[in-house]
Amino acid sequence: MFSNSNDNSLFLHAFEKSPIGMALLSFDGRLLKANPSLCRMLGYNESELINLGVASSTYPEDLEADLELWRKLVQGEMADYQIEKRYVHKSGTLMWGLLNVTSERNHEGISGNDIFISQIVDITEQKKKEEEYKKIEELHKLISDHSQDVILRLTPDGIISYVSPAARNQIGYEPEELIGKHAYDYWHPEDLNGGWLRRGNSDNSDSRIFIYRLRHKSGHYIWQEAHSKKIRNAAGEIQHVISMGRDVTERVHSEELIRRSEKLSLIGELAAGIAHEIRNPLTSLRGFMQMYLKEDKDGSKKLRNEVMISEIDRINEIVSELLVLAKPSNEVFESRDVVHILTHVTRLFEGQANLYNVQIKSEYDADLPFILCQSSINQVFINVLKNAIESMPKGGEVTIQAKRMNDKAYIQIKDSGCGIPQDEITKIGNPFFTTKETGTGLGLMVSVRIIQNHKGTMRIESEVGKGTMVEVVLPLVE
């Protein structure tokens, strides 16, 4: 087999002592010799293996692929080959082996004297681990593909390396659009201080729960709650982060409504005590001011007195709004025509609209059902329309739309005014927050309270320089 006896002796010594299973085969596939490692691996002694032959110890389903490679090797089409295949242990159990076969050609040209050396490494445990890992991967894929929560895997630097299909429904992106992007690029700028992976962050915890705003592909933001965990290797280094994010926009909005409702209640209690104390002296002050006007025969103090009466009336108006907040409405709910209500409110503002050079257009669905409401609902549309007209001091257009969708009436009032910055929209309706120089913020606050009493909702959209849309949704009467 080798050029001299020394080489042959060395090979046989290495063959017998090798920790790897080895066998010598003839050109026709007969097993000529098997080393002790191979015998231990398969559970047979050498003579048993030689009598059984290679095919007997090979798992039947893997035999054809092995024989095809063997045929090519014997015919000289390849110098060696390697294949993972299953073997049948003497006990009947299956095991995996990595088979590597090389040829030792007869250089003397004698046909049939070629020797083939097989080396077999037991990879049963490795294959078991691969199979377990495959099952875990399949389970992970099954969970990821069907989870309504977005599942992310991030690098230690926050780069997205995996994202589940739920991202499509939750934030509008296809998963492949997000791979390779930085996760924080989609966070609302105001929420970035909570960035867990930011350098310099002193938070050493490996698990965190975040609630933050996430940018949808269409441009708006949703609220997401994410459970994140850092995965470390044996050295304690962060390998990656597996994060699960859930859309909690409705929950956050509900909590905000509860907080606003609590504020309204507190403001109402405070207003009840203050308003009554203020109104009585205001009446006296206004009476005296009217007397001063009558006594001012030459009119030299007319401007001053009229300004003072105007300011007293303004204070009285604020007190009236506080009283609306202070007392629960005991008005009777009646079925009323929403188109009639809106038409009436529009007529009230015809003079002011002309003064501001504002056009008011109406678009109402035919045969809208009635709504069940109190007369206070008029105040909502008065407040909204007043704000719309005042937002266009140089003129513009207001469109009032009313339409039916399922069992609700959708009323939208759109203007082409100055608009409201996005960071201020969420504050609208808070006590004493206003975008006007002389406003109190109580008008919309009162409107919110009235809409809540009617089991409706109010929504505001706005863009600076383009205008504002206020949508009021109320239940219909069938």
Which has more pLDDT, 407 or 425? 407
pLDDT in the model for residue 332: 78
Q: Report if residue 137 sits inside a domain.
A: no
- Provide the pLDDT confidence category of residue 64 given band limits of 50, 70 and 90: very high
Stretch 39-57: mean pLDDT: 90
Q: Report if residue 417 sits inside a domain.
A: yes
Stretch 424-450: mean pLDDT: 65
Strands 396-405 and 408-415 come out as antiparallel
Among 68-72, 110-114, 236-240, name the most confident range: 68-72
Looking at the structure, tell me whether residues 346 and 461 fall in a common domain.
yes
pLDDT in the model for residue 201: 45
Looking at the structure, tell me whether residues 304 and 421 fall in a common domain.
no
pLDDT in the model for residue 121: 93
CATH number of the domain bearing residue 257: 1.10.287
244 has which bridge partners? 151, 227
pLDDT for 454 beyond 80 = yes
Chain position carrying tokens 């549309």: 381
Stretch 170-176: mean pLDDT: 90
For the chain, helix, strand, coil in percent to 5 are 45, 25, 30
pLDDT in tens, 399-410: 999 999 888 899
User: And the tokens for 149?
Assistant: 């929560």
- Provide the pLDDT confidence category of residue 136 given band limits of 50, 70 and 90: confident
pLDDT in the model for residue 3: 52
Which has more pLDDT, 471 or 135? 471
Largest CA distance in the chain: 143
pLDDT in tens, 261-292: 666 666 666 666 666 667 667 777 777 777 77
Task: Residue 235: count other Cβ atoms within 10 Å of its Cβ.
Answer: 6
Beta carbons of 433 and 441 less than 8 angstroms apart: yes
Q: Report if residue 65 sits inside a domain.
A: yes
Stretch 31-43: mean pLDDT: 92
Looking at the structure, tell me whether residues 10 and 117 fall in a common domain.
yes
Mean pLDDT for the chain overall = 82
Looking at the structure, tell me whether residues 340 and 464 fall in a common domain.
yes
Q: Report if residue 360 sits inside a domain.
A: yes
Stretch 455-474: mean pLDDT: 90
pLDDT in the model for residue 202: 45
pLDDT for 146 beyond 90 = no
Beta carbons of 42 and 52 less than 8 angstroms apart: no
* Domain count along the chain: 4
- Provide the pLDDT confidence category of residue 199 given band limits of 50, 70 and 90: very low
pLDDT in tens, 297-327: 777 777 777 778 777 777 777 676 666 655 5
Among the residue ranges 93-107, 174-188, 191-205, 343-357, the one predicted with the least confidence is 191-205
pLDDT for 197 beyond 60 = no
Looking at the structure, tell me whether residues 115 and 228 fall in a common domain.
no
> What residue numbers bound the domain in which 21 lies?
5-124
Q: Report if residue 142 sits inside a domain.
A: no
- Provide the pLDDT confidence category of residue 111 given band limits of 50, 70 and 90: very low
Looking at the structure, tell me whether residues 216 and 267 fall in a common domain.
no
Looking at the structure, tell me whether residues 436 and 386 fall in a common domain.
yes
Which has more pLDDT, 340 or 268? 340
pLDDT in the model for residue 406: 86
Q: Report if residue 139 sits inside a domain.
A: no
Beta carbons of 103 and 79 less than 8 angstroms apart: yes
Buried b (16+ CB within 10 A) or exposed e, 118-133: bbbbbebeebeeeeee
Instruction: Give a three-class secondary structure readout of 62-118.
Output: HHHHHHHHHHHHHCCCCCEEEEEEEEECCCCCEEEEEEEEEEECCCCCCCCCCEEEE
| Last-in-domain residue among 247, 281, 301 | 247
Written as one letter, the residue type at 192 is L
Number of alpha carbons in the 13 Å side-chain half-sphere of residue 357: 5
Angstrom distance (rounded) from CA 437 to CA 417: 16
Looking at the structure, tell me whether residues 284 and 359 fall in a common domain.
no
Q: Report if residue 462 sits inside a domain.
A: yes
Looking at the structure, tell me whether residues 345 and 455 fall in a common domain.
yes
Looking at the structure, tell me whether residues 349 and 465 fall in a common domain.
yes
pLDDT for 110 beyond 50 = no
pLDDT in tens, 122-132: 999 998 998 88
Looking at the structure, tell me whether residues 399 and 368 fall in a common domain.
yes
Among the residue ranges 22-31, 146-155, 186-195, 245-254, the one predicted with the least confidence is 186-195
In terms of Cβ atoms closer than 10 Å to its own Cβ (0-12, 13-18, 19+), residue 402 is buried
**Backbone φ and ψ of 335, nearest 5°:** -80, 120
pLDDT for 158 beyond 60 = yes
| Last-in-domain residue among 285, 307, 326 | 326
| Last-in-domain residue among 218, 247, 276 | 247
